Amino acid sequence: MAGSGGAGKSLVRASLAIHQPPVGYSTTPGALMKTLDFDFNPSQLALSRRAQWRRSPAAAARSGSVPEFMGPVPRTLSLEILLDRSQDPDSHDVRKNVELLFSCCETTSASISAKQPSTPWVVFNWGAHSTVRFTAYISSVDVSYVQFSTTGVPTRAVCQVQLNEIPSMTAGQNPTSGALTARRVHRVVSGDSLQFLAWREYGDATAWRTIAEANGIDDPAQLRPGTELMLPAAEEVGH
């Protein structure tokens, strides 16, 4: 794990935003429930992706049947989260954050009320590190308590977490090639601005005009929480 020692104020913390699942067929996470800010940034991110094929037995085929391509399987992300309060032995934060991670594998009350039972949806964020930014659900959490206070309170835990991507619906086409582009839909939350979204998505705050044009926004200062914005694919920024 990469800690904060000597990093100064320039260190960007990784975080895990935990949301209510959406209602209906939306692929945009619902209301923000909690954000887990990492004590230490990950030293390694393990990404995996597979293609699904099916092979049906054929008694008459001596060399076997021809496999049938069923489609790509969404990505998975495995990472280690180190929770540490060794400098504050009276703190119960480690246990509370472990319970928060465990709750990501439990059905939310809101989704039960909406008759669409689901665990929370999560979004892993690490500054402008867009390589692994995707909406996901947590499929497993394995925790090892590795340090305790003299009274038996856990002060350090190592958490192995696996995220499974929830693909967003593809919208629009590339205006130059006609190919499908990976546009996303973002639901505005309190504190959002077009400049912040542009920096987070494209690493360029000045690209906010592209988002404004794509959504017909005349006054970027009037963003209402709950509004869904179409975020153009990176290939479209600058066209």
**What structural domains and CATH numbers belong to the chain?**
8-167 (2.40.30), 169-239 (3.10.350.10)
Q: Which residues contact 219 (CB under 8 A, 6 or more apart)?
A: none
Mean pLDDT for all residues in the chain: 82
| Distance from C-alpha of 35 to C-alpha of 163, rounded to nearest angstrom | 16
80 has pLDDT over 90: yes
pLDDT digits over 12-43, tens only?
888 999 999 988 777 788 899 999 999 999 99
Q: 226: exposed, middle or buried (C-beta count within 10 Å: 0-12, 13-18, 19+)? A: exposed
> What pLDDT is attached to residue 5?
43
Model confidence pLDDT, tens digit, residues 177-235: 333 345 567 888 888 888 888 887 777 888 888 888 888 888 888 888 888 888 877 66
Contact 120, 109 (CB under 8 A): no
Distances (CA, A) of 86 to 42, 102, 120, 127, 153: 18, 21, 29, 26, 10
Query: What pLDDT score was predicted for residue 2?
Result: 43
Mean pLDDT of all residues in 60-83 = 81
The strand pairing partners of 230, in sequence order, are 185
